[in-house]
Chains A and B, each alone.
Chain A
Amino acid sequence: MKPATITPGSSKGEESKFKRLFIEIWKYRMTYTLLLPGLIWLILFAYLPMGGLSLAFKDYRANDGIWGSAWIGFENFKYVFRDPAFADAVWRTLYVNIIKLFITFPFPILLALLLNELRMRRYKKVLQTAFTFPHFLSWIIVSGIIINVLAYDGLVNSFLALIGLPTINFLGSEQNFYPMIILTDIWKSTGWGAIVFMAAISGIDQEQYEAAQIDGATRLQQMFRVTLPNIMPTVTIMFILSVGGLMSSGFDQIFNLANAATQNVSQVLDVYIYRITFQSSTDFSFSTAVSLFRSIVNMILLLLADRAAKWLGGDGLFR
């Protein structure tokens, strides 16, 4: 339905078109009341904050509020782009998420392939339960477990000492921070990530396996020549979708696993925003400017990911 436009001196035809639209809207008034509660929520907690981003171009004063503070143009951004901590945070976010993406991404695929080849069905279910469980826990709980297990006198280091290997300072060292983040991310999310690939595998036409077996293909060959090519479209889509989250993912994990010793290396963009907004001197205009930057980059990444997914023949993020 096109929005009605009222032009001055509109002809009688257009006037009745407007009237028809109104009658149509009135006919569906009940449907609009269904949408109302959700729309009110979206206006209050999604669109008002979006409007609040205008603060990035204002000089925030608590007395004047978001809407009353004076406009100052791009002044805030001058300070943002001059702040070395901001640039560091942006690059660190991209760096962490990109290495995380490349190292962790193959694990769920591998797990799905291996689980698919496991012929003990009951055991497979038990394994899946174990692998998916950590996904349902918050990063706070998981951090609690990890801090215990990886601590200097925790499970892993005690074990390393027992078998005569040097112990590793997983949690309190800057250079071990990113490997630790990658390791714990694999630990928490591999099982869950495998589910999509398992579903894709279960959709593969069985005749392909039978044909491969007639040709004398071994199971390993079937895995790489039949299963893997068949799930490649899913793999591509999942990869692209993760690219969409390059600027925004990982906050919960990094924030909860960081400590005083890893203060610097843990400062990704979202952590930086939190720290400048709620921990140091509160300059809301400045942090809103950073927020706006983050939201725009996020949107661009998501739209690019969506485009790429559609271009490759997938559904994309949005229909």
Chain B
Amino acid sequence: MSTLARKPKKSKFNTTRVTGLDIFIFIILTLGALSILIPFWNVIMISFATQREYAENPLLMWPKEPTFSSYQALFADGSILTGYWNTIKLMAAGLPLSLFLTVSMAYGLSRPKFPGKKPIFFLVLFTMIFNGGIVPLYLIMKDLGLTGSLWAVILAGSFSVFNMILMMNYFQGLPESLMESARLDGAGEWRILRSVVLPLAAPIMATIALFYGVAFWNSWYDAMIFLRKADQLPLQNVLRAIIVESQTNASNATSVGQGTAASFSTGMKMAAVFVTMLPIMAFFPLLQKHFAKGVLTGAIKT
């Protein structure tokens, strides 16, 4: 971010005097940031609060008697752990597969010329503007015998043309002479990819791996379509079941939990939200840096 967000240098003419404009901008931006942070803070604090305290004051900003009981109830229920485990499986299989598909095709298409390069590239690009949509995809998955298996979700999410083009652009920027000299030494393209190109591609690999990682972590639609059994569902779908699907009527959203006396359902829901976004929070500094870079090279170069 540092290079992108660089403030224009106006030093020569700049006064250090704080003007009304500065104060105005400061206040507006601070209010904006608070409007984003407070909901998060509220969610996290509710997850640590007791039901009694929440009932007294939903504006809760600091629980007086913090408790882990919502988390205990959440983990005792177990579905969130199953969700975690399924998402980990999804990523463990999906990330290597997606990187393999993306890297190999990106390097292939970054080769300067070979017969059929243009039509092949067009076929790849065409999938970005036209797609069959979910219904035929569902039927194809069914024909392949993949519905009801996590593999359907893994395969459906394992390739993104956008990511491939980002990587291809990066490869095209590498000096061709390196590949050429390896070729003269008798190395094949796959070997060149592995021992010449990949060692130089660490930054783009990290960016693309994070792109796929976040996409897999956040994916839910494919799983909702292709999977049937509750114990197969990834984390996001479990969270959806806990929060969205239980919200039958918004006006009495808190009366949803069955055992209101036994467990604090809002607290449990908020604990589930927190647990699901925790990994994104943990990786956020890294994500911010790489995503900004990726989206900008994407916007400028493709």
Interface residues of A (CB under 8 A from B): 1, 3, 21, 24-25, 28, 30-39, 41-42, 44-53, 55, 65-66, 111, 114-121, 124-134, 136-138, 140-141, 143-149, 151-155, 158-159, 162, 169-172, 187, 190-191, 195-196, 198-199, 201-202, 204, 206, 209-210, 213-214, 219-220, 252, 256, 259-261, 273-274, 277-278, 284, 287-288, 291-292, 294-296, 298-299, 302-303, 315, 317-319
Given A1-B116, A121-B7, A159-B59, A291 and B134 touching (CB < 8 A)?
yes
Docked complex Cα distance between A126 and B288 (Å): 12
Task: Assess whether B129 is interfacial by the CB under 8 Å rule.
Answer: yes
Contact between B193 and A34, CB atoms less than 8 A apart: yes
Docked complex Cα distance between A28 and B113 (Å): 9
Docked complex Cα distance between A229 and B290 (Å): 29
Contact between A143 and B243, CB atoms less than 8 A apart: yes
**Option from B3, B4, B221 in Cβ contact (under 8 Å) with A252:** B221
Residues 197 to 249 of chain B near chain A (Cβ within 8 Å): 214, 217-221, 225, 236, 239-240, 243-244, 247-249
Given A45-B140, A49-B137, A153-B58, A147 and B218 touching (CB < 8 A)?
no
Contact between A206 and B8, CB atoms less than 8 A apart: yes
Task: Assess whether B184 is interfacial by the CB under 8 Å rule.
Answer: no
Contact between B115 and A28, CB atoms less than 8 A apart: yes
**Option from A155, A213, A273 in Cβ contact (under 8 Å) with B133:** A273
Contact between A144 and B133, CB atoms less than 8 A apart: no
Contact between B135 and A318, CB atoms less than 8 A apart: no
Contact between B115 and A25, CB atoms less than 8 A apart: yes
Contact between B36 and A35, CB atoms less than 8 A apart: no
Given A30-B190, A45-B140, A145-B43, A140 and B135 touching (CB < 8 A)?
no
Given A34-B190, A152-B250, A277 and B134 touching (CB < 8 A)?
yes
**B133 — which chain A residues lie within 8 A by C-beta?**
49, 53, 273, 288, 291-292, 294-295
Contact between B4 and A195, CB atoms less than 8 A apart: yes
Question: 23 interchain pairs (CB within 8 A)?
Answer: A25-B115, A25-B116, A30-B189, A30-B190, A31-B114, A33-B190, A35-B105, A37-B105, A41-B155, A42-B123, A47-B123, A118-B22, A118-B26, A120-B26, A133-B40, A136-B287, A148-B42, A148-B266, A148-B269, A209-B10, A213-B13, A259-B250, A274-B134
Contact between A133 and B28, CB atoms less than 8 A apart: no
**A155 — which chain B residues lie within 8 A by C-beta?**
38-39, 42, 58-59
Size of B's binding interface in residues, CB under 8 A: 116
14 additional contacts (CB under 8 A) given A38-B124, A148-B43, A288-B136? A35-B104, A35-B105, A49-B131, A49-B140, A118-B25, A121-B7, A133-B40, A145-B273, A152-B250, A152-B252, A206-B10, A209-B8, A259-B248, A260-B248
Contact between A125 and B104, CB atoms less than 8 A apart: no
Interface residues of B (CB under 8 A from A): 1, 3-10, 12-13, 19, 21-22, 25-26, 28-30, 32-33, 35-40, 42-43, 46, 57-59, 100-102, 104-105, 107-109, 111, 114-120, 123-125, 127-140, 143-144, 155-156, 158-159, 164, 188-190, 193, 214, 217-221, 225, 236, 239-240, 243-244, 247-254, 266, 269-270, 272-273, 276-277, 280-281, 284, 287-288, 291-292, 295-296, 299-300, 302
**B37 — which chain A residues lie within 8 A by C-beta?**
130
**B137 — which chain A residues lie within 8 A by C-beta?**
45, 49, 52
Centre residue among A38, A124, A131, A204 by max chain B CB count within 10 A: A38
6 residue pairs, one from A and one from B, having the closest CB atoms? A52-B136, A49-B132, A38-B105, A34-B108, A172-B250, A171-B250
Given A52-B136, A145-B273, A152-B252, A39 and B29 touching (CB < 8 A)?
no
**Option from A45, A53, A138 in Cβ contact (under 8 Å) with B220:** A138
Docked complex Cα distance between A190 and B32 (Å): 10
Nearest residue in B to A293 (C-beta to C-beta)? B133
- B16 CB → nearest A CB, Å: 9
